[in-house]
């Protein structure tokens, strides 16, 4: 039986409309010293579960979240409403949430929701390979998440030729639109790059490669070079190479990018993890609400992939904080991107100990 793991995110996505480059909110650093450097045996939490990772309260919280998320699916199989209605990225994240519990088309209590989401995503694959619906803004965000969804689904159900064909086209588009700096930007043209869109494409590329789709090594190497160039001297990451201060959500994206690009032991990762511990540890820091779910989606993945003391400290803190934010409806709220988005991000994090999705395997 497959070891359980999840996605990827994460991340967002939907923040294209409020350019991350303009974000100025920062956390107040903690005063305690950073955690010790990772020992080799600490790398990765996929084979080192903590005691009581999935408490009874957490299981109940997740089940309530599923009920809420199911209610948010639209008649055409999509998720997302209002400004982000019919969004392929949100739809992909919601489908990945249900897949994180083992649901697949034709399998599981929420298999129908995954199947309907898949039909929506496939119906929005264009001739160029871009996956985008009518309301997309900054379509490469949604494209990255939708491609990740197809990659994870194909890895678990390789008999579906429709998924494979769409996945291959989507990956070809990502490879073909990489900027000279090594990253990606809002639109499928290589005119610029930022760390937020880049992490979406890196996760999609990793998922596709895990499922047997060819990904050029040069594409990954250039992406790693770009991510490294976005790191500041304090260990945090800036939005773009040209300039910018560090912030914890984009730092989480930067560290996760390196892990998913195949870098596991590196000074850039260690400094990024230390920055996150000092500035964004749930319950200790004051990261504010801007990009909260986005940041924790990637931070949880970074700490999971780092393993050891990082995961031991982060997991109890983030799971407790997220359960405390769950509304009486069973969902989580985000006034910018909506309840389906925030709930999917939260549930993907809370289900990480299930270890179902292939993307979290090194």
Q: What CATH number is attached to the domain comprising 313?
A: 1.50.10.20
Q: Residue 291 domain-assigned?
A: yes
Q: Residue 37 domain-assigned?
A: no
pLDDT band at 52, cuts 50/70/90?
confident
pLDDT of residue 42: 54
Q: Residue 6 domain-assigned?
A: no
The string of pLDDT tens digits covering residues 121-139 is 999 999 999 999 976 678 9
Residues ≥6 apart with Cβ < 8 Å to 143: 88, 89, 130, 131, 132, 170, 173, 174, 188, 200, 204
Q: Are 12 and 297 in contact (CB under 8 A)?
A: yes
pLDDT of residue 108: 97
User: Is residue 349 over pLDDT 60?
Assistant: yes
Q: How far apart are CA 352 and CA 75, in angstroms?
A: 29
- Compute the average pLDDT of residues 3-26: 35
Q: Residue 12 domain-assigned?
A: no
Q: How far apart are CA 241 and CA 252, in angstroms?
A: 16
Q: Residue 11 domain-assigned?
A: no
* Domain with 82 in it: 42-360
The string of pLDDT tens digits covering residues 157-212 is 999 999 999 999 999 999 999 999 999 999 999 999 999 999 999 999 999 999 99
- Rounded to 10 degrees, the C-alpha dihedral 84/87/90/93 comes to 180
For residue 155, count other CB atoms closer than 10 A to its CB: 22
Q: Residue 16 domain-assigned?
A: no
Q: Residue 160 domain-assigned?
A: yes
Q: Residue 310 domain-assigned?
A: yes
pLDDT band at 28, cuts 50/70/90?
very low
Residues ≥6 apart with Cβ < 8 Å to 310: 35, 38, 42, 273, 277, 303
pLDDT of residue 347: 98
Number of structural domains (the chain) is 1
- Compute the average pLDDT of residues 217-223: 98
Q: Are 69 and 95 in contact (CB under 8 A)?
A: no
For residue 63, count other CB atoms closer than 10 A to its CB: 11
């Amino acid at each position: 039986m497959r070891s359980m793991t999840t996605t990827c995110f994460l991340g967002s996505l939907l923040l294209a409309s409020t350019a991350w480059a303009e974000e100025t909110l920062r956390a107040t650093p903690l005063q305690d010293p950073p955690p010790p450097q990772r020992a080799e045996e600490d790398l990765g939490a996929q084979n080192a579960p903590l005691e009581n990772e999935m408490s009874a309260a957490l299981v109940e919280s997740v089940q309530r979240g599923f009920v809420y998320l199911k209610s948010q699916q639209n008649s055409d199989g999509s998720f997302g409403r209002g400004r982000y209605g019919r969004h392929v990225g949100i739809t992909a994240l919601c489908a990945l949430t249900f897949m994180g519990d083992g649901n697949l088309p034709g399998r599981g209590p929420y298999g129908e929701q995954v199947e309907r989401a898949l039909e929506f995503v496939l119906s929005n694959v264009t001739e160029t390979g871009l996956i985008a619906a009518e309301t997309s803004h900054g379509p490469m965000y949604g494209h990255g998440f939708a491609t990740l969804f197809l990659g994870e689904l194909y890895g678990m159900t390789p008999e579906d030729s429709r998924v494979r064909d769409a996945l291959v086209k989507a990956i070809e588009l990502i490879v073909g639109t990489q900027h000279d700096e090594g990253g990606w930007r809002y639109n499928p043209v290589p005119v610029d790059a930022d760390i937020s869109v880049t992490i979406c494409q890196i996760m999609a590329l990793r998922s596709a490669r895990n499922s047997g789709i060819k990904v050029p090594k040069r594409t990954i190497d250039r992406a790693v070079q770009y991510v490294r160039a976005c790191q500041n001297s304090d260990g945090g990451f800036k939005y773009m190479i040209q300039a910018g201060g560090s912030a914890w959500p984009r730092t989480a994206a930067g560290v996760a990018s390196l892990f998913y690009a195949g870098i596991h032991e590196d000074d850039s990762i260690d400094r990024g993890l230390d920055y996150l511990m000092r500035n964004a540890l749930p319950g200790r820091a004051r990261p504010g609400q801007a990009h909260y779910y986005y940041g924790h989606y990637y931070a949880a993945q970074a700490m999971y992939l780092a393993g050891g003391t990082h995961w031991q400290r982060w997991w109890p803190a983030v799971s407790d904080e997220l359960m405390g934010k769950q509304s009486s409806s069973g969902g989580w709220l985000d006034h910018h991107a909506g309840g389906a988005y925030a709930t999917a991000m939260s549930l993907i994090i809370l289900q990480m100990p299930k270890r179902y999705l292939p993307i979290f395997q090194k």
